[in-house]
Structure 1
Amino acid sequence: MASASPPADALVIGGGAIGLAIAWRGAARGLAVTVVDPAPGRGASHAAAGMLTPVSELQYGEEALLRLNMDSADRYPAFAADLEAASGLPSGYRACGTLAVALDADDRAVLKELHAFQGRLGLASTWLTSRECRRLEPMLSPAVSGGLHVEGDHQIDNRRLVAALLAACERAGVVIVRRAVAELLASGGRATGVRLDDGTELGAGHVVLAAGCGSARLPGLPPGVIPAIRPVKGEILRLRVPEAYAPFLSRNVRAVVKGGSMYLVPRADGELVVGATEYEMDDTVVTAGGVYELLRDARELVPGISELPLIETYAGLRPGSPDNAPVIGATELPGLIAATGHYRHGILLTPVTADAVAGLLADETVPDVVRPWGPSRFGASGTRPSREVSYA
């Protein structure tokens, strides 16, 4: 079937936070951009909690990824301000800080090790006693045995973010096609566009693959061009804080509870997000066990949570690459750019990913901080890094 419209400069497959942000930033550079997604903003971006916590979420072995996470977190204040001006909508960005706490002696030891690790990397965090933790957050259980205060780790309301990005895209002239992509099209050894599920063909100078867990399963994609992106299921809860209980929590609260991690994210509008389970599964069914585990651990941490109305249970799929790090950059198929595999950090990495990919579309140089995360690091097999990722 013939193309339904003149070819765009760029066609973005995937309308989550990252895909929409790429489109918006690309349009700001004067490019004609099309986004294809049957339900923009309803994937992993809708299920997220919106924590911008590169320091308090740091895990061993992620030293290389830390630089990218910190760079994107630093971009957020300007990114959010630009987005609000472009969309006329709030982004939900809050500079609130994060408190990470432990309940028993074993959990406290884990958190103490994390604090030492952060210190070795030159990261700013402050160890607090139990009393100091409860002074910051009076609703915490008396059983809290200590914690880390990270003043520079903040949050954004992921759903407000996506709504603002969608509005900014529409204002900037981005074409939003609410259809599913049936096939990637290529000609002469180059990606040239897509075929939609209704048979319509859309052409483009560049195609950006930002389809989350579906990125590597796209029909027409040559083998090995995109590494295997696996789904990692996460269940999440949303509760409402009545005015009589406000303020319930004033900052993000992360916790180690009996060896497992969890978080509570209070929104400015009175919503409280609790999450998240993590399973190597490819379904979005919310289970009774998952809800029970989250509420059980949240109640141990903040006993008063039992009195709050439960307003939503939801499950989404995080896109995990073979090394659990993002895949950002030009692929071995000319004309095809990857922006996927962000795993737990999709919302956090939205600004740096959008700026880098929009820059690529406009023939700009890839920032040094993004360069190590290109798809070429996996080699031809697309299953594991072909070399050690450099922090430099």
Structure 2
Amino acid sequence: MAKGSLAVIGGGVIGLSVARRAALDGWVVHVHRSDETGSSWVAGGMLAPHSEGWPGEERLLRLGLASLRLWHSGFLDGLPDSVVTARESLVVAVDRADAADLKTVGEWLAAQGHPVEPTTAAREIEPLLAQGIRHGFRAETELAVDNRAMVDALAGHCERLGVRWAPPVAELTDTEADAVVIANGIDAPSLWPGLPIRPVKGEVLRLRWRRGCMPVPQRVIRARVHGRQVYLVPRHDGVVVGATQYEHGRDTAPAVTGVRELLDDACAVMPALGEYEFAECAAGLRPMTPDGLPLVGRLDERTLIAGGHGRNGFLLAPWTAEAILGELNGVPLPEADVVGGAVRVR
């Protein structure tokens, strides 16, 4: 028996995850989405709360770890195994200052009760690393997914559950559903003015394996390169390299400086990538909040927000779906204690 009708505005990983979870729970769901690709199409697809963490981000770490557990305990049910492209992260440092940063992160994680496994022999774990790279740590529970395959798989599962597609809306009154979830990324403030969500640009590259090249790494490689961060995420046909991060309005044109730095840093970490095909360069707009925490909760009796996930949309998708379902059913998640911007998330 249907619990009620739900309109989800936004067809990225967050909107589709919310729609799927609600449909599984018995809601009649419509997803309002456009044909344009958003930030989910450009993402690296890392599920990496340990290796993304930094002192001062304790609440984000807790959310990320809670959501990673959901990835491991059922969120992938009904989806093809092929969406997962890596089941471990290796975080490495190029120089001594980078190694000191990694030590800081490792000590902070241990202080939070989530120690990682340090190593001074990173090339024994990943032989394709550049000579001289020794220091790092392993995060063995972290995952990576093919972001595009994941979005397609979620959409397919939604269809099998009876979720219907609908065109974008300009006003919340354009839908007559019992409840509405705003999950359209950087466009959320257009539907609810005052939401503290802004676009933050990030370039991402795709390098394709070619015959005769060294093989694709089997784990995510995250590196600090002279203070900058770069990640290498396996795909079935190559590697995703990312990502820059800076404020530039709604500009999605890749910039030469950002692309050059990503290529230089990627090859400094794994020189064999220089033989791969340069297949794609794209830029996406992450929906960021002032404090870096997502906005997930109720705005009024009918309207909920699931936005502002920044660089962690894929990681936090399962937790967000559970939190929204809890709000819809009147049983909020006990760990939903994050304050994001102006929205109180219990």
| TM-score, normalised by the number of residues in structure 2 | 0.94
Say yes or no: does 1:242 pair with 2:233: no
Q: Deviations over 1:68-99 (max 9, x none)?
A: 11010011023343132xxxx44612452111
Q: Deviations over 1:329-367 (max 9, x none)?
A: 111x32000000001110000011112212322x14111
**Counterparts of 2:139 and 2:316, CA distance in 1:** 19
Q: Which residue of 1 aligns with 2:117?
A: 126
Alpha-carbon contact 2:214-2:272 (below 8 Å) kept: no
SS of alignment partner, residue 83 of structure 1: coil
Say yes or no: does 1:228 pair with 2:211: no
Unmatched segments (≥5 aa) in structure 2? none
**Counterparts of 1:31 and 1:111, CA distance in 2:** 45
Q: Which residue of 1 aligns with 2:52?
A: 57
> CA, structure 1 residues 234+182, in 2 after alignment: closer, same or farther (shift >3 Å)?
same
Alpha-carbon contact 2:86-2:234 (below 8 Å) kept: no
| Residue of structure 1 aligned with 2:150, choices 161, 171, 175 | 161
Q: Which residue of 2 aligns with 1:190?
A: none
Alpha-carbon contact 1:96-1:151 (below 8 Å) kept: yes
C-alpha deviation, 1:318, in angstroms: 0.5
Q: Which residue of 1 aligns with 2:326?
A: 359
Say yes or no: does 1:216 pair with 2:189: yes
**Counterparts of 1:91 and 1:208, CA distance in 2:** 29
SS of alignment partner, residue 254 of structure 2: coil
Q: Deviations over 1:24-57 (max 9, x none)?
A: 11111111111101127x2111111111110111
C-alpha deviation, 1:123, in angstroms: 1.3
Q: Deviations over 1:264-286 (max 9, x none)?
A: 0112x132000001011221111
**Counterparts of 2:211 and 2:71, CA distance in 1:** 29
Q: Deviations over 1:142-198 (max 9, x none)?
A: 121411111122211111111011001111111111x3322222xxxxxxxx2xxxx
Say yes or no: does 1:206 pair with 2:179: yes
Alpha-carbon contact 2:44-2:146 (below 8 Å) kept: yes
SS of alignment partner, residue 55 of structure 1: helix
Give the counterpart letter for 1:116 in structure 2: E
Q: Which residue of 2 aligns with 1:3?
A: none
Within 5 A, what are the aligned runs for 1:95-174?
96-129=87-120, 132-174=121-163
**Counterparts of 1:242 and 1:118, CA distance in 2:** 38
Root-mean-square deviation (Å) = 1.9
Q: Specify the structure having the higher radius of gyration (Cα).
A: 1
Alpha-carbon contact 2:119-2:134 (below 8 Å) kept: no
Say yes or no: does 1:73 pair with 2:57: no
Residues matched between the structures, number: 342
| Residue of structure 1 aligned with 2:32, choices 12, 19, 36 | 36
Q: Which residue of 2 aligns with 1:283?
A: 251
Alpha-carbon contact 1:141-1:300 (below 8 Å) kept: yes
SS of alignment partner, residue 30 of structure 1: coil
Aligned-pair identity in percent equals 40
Q: Deviations over 1:277-323 (max 9, x none)?
A: 10112211112221111001111111111100011111111100121
Q: Which residue of 2 aligns with 1:182?
A: 170
**Counterparts of 1:217 and 1:324, CA distance in 2:** 20
**Counterparts of 1:339 and 1:99, CA distance in 2:** 30
Alpha-carbon contact 1:23-1:358 (below 8 Å) kept: no
**Counterparts of 1:237 and 1:95, CA distance in 2:** 18
| TM-score, normalised by the number of residues in structure 1 | 0.83
Say yes or no: does 1:12 pair with 2:1: no
C-alpha deviation, 1:229, in angstroms: 0.3
Alpha-carbon contact 2:75-2:318 (below 8 Å) kept: no
SS of alignment partner, residue 356 of structure 1: helix
Unmatched segments (≥5 aa) in structure 1? 1-7, 186-193, 195-201, 380-384
> CA, structure 1 residues 274+171, in 2 after alignment: closer, same or farther (shift >3 Å)?
same
